[in-house]
Amino acid sequence: MSTNAELVARRQIAIPRGVGNAYPVYTARAENAELWDVEGKRYVDFAGGIAVLNTGHRHPKVIAAVKAQLDAYTHTCFQVTQYEPYVALAEKINALAPFKGPAKTIFFSTGAEAVENAVKIARAATGRSAVIAFAGGFHGRTMMTMGLTGKVLPYKKKFGPMPNEIYHLPFPIADHGTTTADTLKALDFLFRADVEPSRVAAIIVEPVQGEGGFYEAPKDLLVALRTICDEHGIVLIADEVQTGFGRTGKIFAMENSGVEPDLVTMAKSLAGGFPLSGVLGKAAIMDGAEAGGLGGTYAGSPLALAAALAVLEVIEEEKLCERANTMGATIKARLAKIAQRNDVVPISGIRGPGAMIGFDVVKSHGAYEPDADATKRITAAAIESGLILLSCGVNFNVIRILVPLTASDEILNEGLDKLEAALIKAKG
């Protein structure tokens, strides 16, 4: 079998540099919250495939469901001959909708597809074209979703011009000097200077910003957005691609605020590692598009649908929403103790609902001075010790923790030990 170094060399020749890689590590196998590379080294996984593996690598129930589906059929295209798993999963997700009234769901393959189609649905339902998003938000890498994304590097550089009629507002983050009042003032200015409310189809917001730094949308912001959308007939889209399916202690993160969205985008942990995404929404809005206007050849793969049906059972049977809250409390408590030490890189801003935890790496205690270089040292030290860890944030100084919710306490604590050691080593 090839070594990591050999595969890196082959990759550099065969694959364009535009596909970024966090680490020069090649996976050979994985189970739950652990994986082993091609050289046999073991890692504790605190990344979860970027929030895809709330139910862990290769959950037995998910694998069994996919194997059973393989024995039946793998593809027909739902737009040609339909299949029951599509209907069954839609029914189950509709019953979980974080809003009152009739709901409908459509499936796709990727998070970006879900967001693209949510915009299409909102435009079809309202007859309008403009969309408002937030700085720091991440919605995908296609042209529309890249335009919605509020972070230039690395997502927009060299890819302009962006699509028309996308507008951005500042996202309220206290450490960045922005309040909800500032955001709403900017929205009022936007309505007066650039686009009238009657031309706005949708406002899209992440209940917790992912790539932007794991910042939770303040409840007063979400309440205000709901009021404004109701007043002007604007569709409120909650992008739950990263936050959905137990990660924040609820099936959907919007449930933590009590604010009801009109549309919800889903992907990542929906299918436990298989490519599946979707848009869940209020039935009247979802029916705004004409027949044939939505869909895709691979949209709603039977294999991924089978996996997703099993994922929902696992979340319920293993009480993963409750587990997320328990794990999150353990992680936060440990980080709070680490933050008091003088022999670690200074950290602050420990935050996040459920087990969607992030913290800032800063230059000194008591002040918000982002330290992107130290963040790189931390992730490098972590991977060397056998911990897969990811960073994010508009200042590239946030460490995020997305350990599978199925991880044992033993594995969780082992990972936290490795994280603490990495913070010490990065201090130098």
SS3 188: helix
CATH class of the domain whose range is 4-58+319-427: alpha beta
Q: What is the pLDDT of residue 366?
A: 83
**Ranges of each domain in the chain:** 4-58+319-427, 73-317
Asked if pLDDT for residue 343 goes beyond 90, the answer is: yes
Contacts of 12 (CB under 8 A, 6+ apart): none
Per-residue pLDDT band for 370 (boundaries 50, 70, 90) equals very high
Burial environment of residue 424 by CB neighbours within 10 A (0 to 12, 13 to 18, 19 or more): middle
In one letter, which amino acid is 47? A
Read off the pLDDT of each residue in 20-29 and give the average, rounded to a whole number.
Answer: 95
Q: What is the pLDDT of residues 165-181, one digit of tens each?
A: 999 999 999 989 999 99
At CB < 8 A and 24+ separation, what contacts does 176-179 make? Answer: 176/394
Question: Chain-wide mean pLDDT for the chain?
Answer: 97
**146-160, 191-205, 275-289, 320-334: range with lowest mean pLDDT:** 146-160
Q: What is the pLDDT of residues 215-243, one digit of tens each?
A: 999 999 999 999 999 999 999 999 999 99
The pairing of beta strand 130-134 with beta strand 166-169? parallel
Per-residue pLDDT band for 153 (boundaries 50, 70, 90) equals confident
Q: What is the pLDDT of residue 146?
A: 95
Nearest residue to 414 via CA among 17, 34, 80: 34
In one letter, which amino acid is 213? G
Nearest residue to 242 via CA among 415, 110, 347: 110
Q: Which CATH architecture has domain 73-317?
A: 3-Layer(aba) Sandwich (3.40)
